[in-house]
Amino acid sequence: MPTAAPVELGSLTCPACGTVLGPYGLDAAQEAVCPGCRAGLRGQVFRAWSAPQSDGLSTFERAMEGEAVCFFHPSNRAARPCDSCGRFLCSICDLPVGSRHLCPVCLSKGLGKEKLPELIPRRMLWSRTALWLGVLPLLLSIVIWPFLIVSGGAAVIIALAGWNRPGSLVRGRQRWAAVVGLLLGLLQLGIWTGVIFLIRYASSHSS
């Protein structure tokens, strides 16, 4: 069986300009200078750099009599179970997601409905949206007071609608922001109602 060729450390390139660094190009303790762009570099190379690389082709073996087989390919020997549903998988159906191994069905389910935290690429933060809608219009309320009914209503609706929606992956739901946004939204509605009341009151008494 052929082994992967070892990678020379000298083929490590500068992240800024792409110039090949020298054989001793990186040092965690001392700053090195890129020969191409003269950028100061300090770093560390890990074991994975010199580890044999996979050729990208999955290998599988035919199952013998009495052996566990893949759920999706009954003729293939099972390599491992799916970490989510437990189905046996051959090396073709084994889809690594970080340290987890999933079957194609679980991966597609996780992609579709954001069930797998490892696959979420972006999120809108509803609580922070409510907070911004609560704070910003108040700061500009002298200029845009007629629109406070819109921004205040939106802040209240978004704070309530996003109460149970998933929040930041790292900071959680931040419900305090939704509460502040909700209160400030109600304040905006109160201001708008008060101003309308004052205008009507003033116009009725002036006539």
DSSP bridge partners of 32 = 41
Residues of span 69-98 touching other proteins by CB under 8 A: 83-85, 98
- Grouping H, G, I as helix, E, B as strand and the rest as coil, residue 84 is coil
| Residue 116 sits in the site that holds other proteins (CB under 8 A) | yes
Stretch that binds other proteins, among 33-41, 63-71, 141-149, 189-197 (CB under 8 A): 33-41
Residues whose CB falls within 8 Å of the CB of residue 50, separated by 6 or more in sequence, listed in order: 6, 7, 9
Residues of span 123-142 touching other proteins by CB under 8 A: 123-125, 128-129, 132
Q: How far is the CB of 184 from other proteins (least distance, A)?
A: 15
Which CB atom, from 77 or from 173, has the smaller least distance to other proteins?
Answer: 173
| Residue 159 sits in the site that holds other proteins (CB under 8 A) | no
Which backbone phi and psi does 62 adopt, to 5 degrees? Answer: -70, 140
Q: Which of these, 108, 56, 61, lies nearest to 84 by C-alpha position?
A: 108
Which CB atom, from 63 or from 106, has the smaller least distance to other proteins?
Answer: 106
Q: Which amino acid is at 135?
A: V
CB atoms within 10 A of CB 166: 15
CB-based burial, 173-198: b 16+ in 10 Å, e otherwise? bbeebbbbbbebbbbbbebbeeeeee
| Residue 2 sits in the site that holds other proteins (CB under 8 A) | no
Q: How far is the CB of 62 from other proteins (least distance, A)?
A: 28
Interface residue list for other proteins (CB under 8 A):
3-4, 6, 12-13, 15-16, 26, 28, 31, 39-53, 83-85, 98-99, 106, 109-110, 115-118, 120-125, 128-129, 132, 168-170
